[in-house]
Amino acid sequence: MTQYIVRRIFLAIPVIFGILVVTFSLSRMIPGGPCRAILGEKATQAVCDRFIHEFGFDRPIYVQFGSYMVDVLKGNFGESIRYSRPVALILIERLPMTIELGTLATILATLIGIPAGIISAIRRNSAVDVITMVLANMGVSMPVFWLGLMLAYIFALLLKGTPLWLPPSGRLSAGMSLTPFYEAYGWGVEPESIKFYVLEFIANHYVLNSLLTANWVVLKDTLTHLILPTMALSTIPMAVIARMTRSSMLEVLGQDYIRTARAKGLRERLVILKHALRNALLPVVTIIGIELGVIFSGAVLTETIFGLAGVGRMLYEAITARDYPIVQAFTVVIAAGYVIMNLLVDITYGFIDPRIKLE
């Protein structure tokens, strides 16, 4: 198992290197060069010359790439143009929101998608199957930004005044605030230290932080705010997972060993859950890995619609404001995160299907 994991990690290294190359070259392809992009269209030639020299854009391209790599490995992503703050700090503030949203959406999509697919496969061609598959087909065809807006309209406006009302934007209600757990525990932390960054990163996961500080009011509030975005974001992956589970289950249920299992008098529940599902799960896990990319992409749109201060919305704002250090750093982090997620998916294969390790 260890050997398998190590091999997978080594396979991911060239991809991460490639990501760095791509983001680096994209940043050098800005029309008008980095100077005009950062200082504005009106910057004079003299100002630009000084800027280019100061930031080292006049060095050979391989030297620039080398220093870029070193900076990235050190976690030094430079300073945001718009906010004049270190990009790393902005990442620490924004990333937890997206992680919470993405995790909840993935969990919801899996928890509903897999059982829906199993039931559809067992009751093939029944009304339940037909309805599930019609819904799944609609689900994969819906634009996530449209679904988000419609959910906001239904739950925040039409259901106003009912107990089903849900807030359409933000992470917490007005007036709610949250003490970082390390302050609540009375840990003295020096600002700007690595420990501070790590603790702050953990504390910015509101769900986690309110659990750690046992602040149930805030926990309920932040979860309520997460319901609509999670629903919007999880619908497409849910539909894809349900379809994949169904077709994979149907294939497995036709195998000889399922007939054998039934013939030896095993209970149907056991046949489905132990013999069929475990074998049918491999393509489903693959598709969940692929859908993580869909969730990342969808997060940009979902956060924009629901006014959530996450990575996706920040990235979009940075792009429209031409805040290139942020664009570059966030792209690297998200792509690397996606690679790591897929690495984890690959490793799960080894647990689900012992045969894979031998390859």
Partner 1 sequence: MTNTLDHKPEIIKTSSSKSLMDYRANSLWRLTLRRILKQKSALIGMTLLGLLVLVAIFAPVIAPYDPIQVLIGTEKIKQREKPCIHLLGCPQDKPQHILGVDGNVRDEFSRVIFGSRVSLFIGFSTIGFAIIVGTLFGSISGYAGGLTDNIMMRFMDVLMAFPSLLLAITIVSFLGPGLQNALFAIAIINIPIYARVVRASVLSVKECDYVAASRALGASPIHILIQRILPNSLPPLIVRGSLGIAESIISAAALSFLGLGAQPPTPEWGSMLGSERNQVFTAPHLVFFPGIAIMITVLGFNLLGDGLRDAIDPRLAQRGAE
Query: Applying CB under 8 A, does 300 fall inside the site for partner 1?
Result: yes
Query: Which one of 1, 6, 13, 21 is in contact with partner 1 (CB under 8 A)?
Result: 21
Query: Applying CB under 8 A, does 121 fall inside the site for partner 1?
Result: no
Query: Applying CB under 8 A, does 326 fall inside the site for partner 1?
Result: no
Query: Which one of 68, 77, 181, 296 is in contact with partner 1 (CB under 8 A)?
Result: 296
Query: Applying CB under 8 A, does 344 fall inside the site for partner 1?
Result: no
CA distance 355 to 49: 60
Query: Which one of 9, 61, 150, 164 is in contact with partner 1 (CB under 8 A)?
Result: 150
Query: Applying CB under 8 A, does 277 fall inside the site for partner 1?
Result: no
The answer to whether the CB of 288 falls within 8 A of the CB of 345 is yes
Query: Applying CB under 8 A, does 297 fall inside the site for partner 1?
Result: yes
Q: Computed from CA positions of residues 37, 309, 97, 306, in that sequence, does the dihedral angle turn out positive or negative?
A: negative
Residue 334 Cβ vs partner 1, minimum distance, rounded to whole Å: 6
Instruction: Give the count of residues interacting with partner 1 (CB under 8 A).
Output: 49
Query: Applying CB under 8 A, does 149 fall inside the site for partner 1?
Result: yes
**Binding map of partner 1 across residues 63-92, x = CB under 8 A, - = no contact:** ------------------------------
Residue 166 Cβ vs partner 1, minimum distance, rounded to whole Å: 14
Residue 39 Cβ vs partner 1, minimum distance, rounded to whole Å: 17
Residues 27-46 that bind partner 1 (CB under 8 A): 27, 29-31
Query: Which one of 9, 76, 153, 159 is in contact with partner 1 (CB under 8 A)?
Result: 153
The answer to whether the CB of 133 falls within 8 A of the CB of 246 is yes
Residues 164-203 that bind partner 1 (CB under 8 A): none
CA distance 260 to 251: 16
R_g of the chain computed on alpha carbons:
24
User: Which residues are registered as beta bridge partners of 79?
Assistant: 86
Among the residue ranges 90-98, 110-118, 268-276, 316-324, the one whose residues contact partner 1 (CB under 8 A): 316-324
CA distance 95 to 118: 34
DSSP 96-121: HHHHHHHHHHHHHHHHHHHHHHHHHH
Angle between helical axes of 311-320 and 87-122 (0-180°, round to 10): 120
What are residue 79's phi and psi, to 5 degrees?
A: -120, 140
Query: Which one of 157, 214, 270, 344 is in contact with partner 1 (CB under 8 A)?
Result: 157
Query: Applying CB under 8 A, does 339 fall inside the site for partner 1?
Result: yes
Among the residue ranges 16-24, 203-211, 219-227, 350-358, the one whose residues contact partner 1 (CB under 8 A): 16-24
* Nearer to partner 1 (CB atom), residue 114 or residue 335: 335
Tokens, residue 322: 């031409």
110-143 CB burial, b ≥16 within 10 A, e <16: bebbbebbbbbbbeeeeeebeebbeebeebeeee
Exposed / middle / buried, residue 293 (Cβ in 10 Å: 0-12, 13-18, 19+):
middle
Residue 92 Cβ vs partner 1, minimum distance, rounded to whole Å: 20
The answer to whether the CB of 201 falls within 8 A of the CB of 193 is no
CA distance 230 to 227: 5
Query: Which one of 116, 272, 305, 314 is in contact with partner 1 (CB under 8 A)?
Result: 305
Residues that bind partner 1 (CB under 8 A): 14-16, 18-19, 21-23, 26-27, 29-31, 137-138, 140-147, 149-150, 152-153, 156-157, 293-294, 296-298, 300-301, 304-305, 315-316, 319-320, 322, 327, 331, 334-335, 338-339
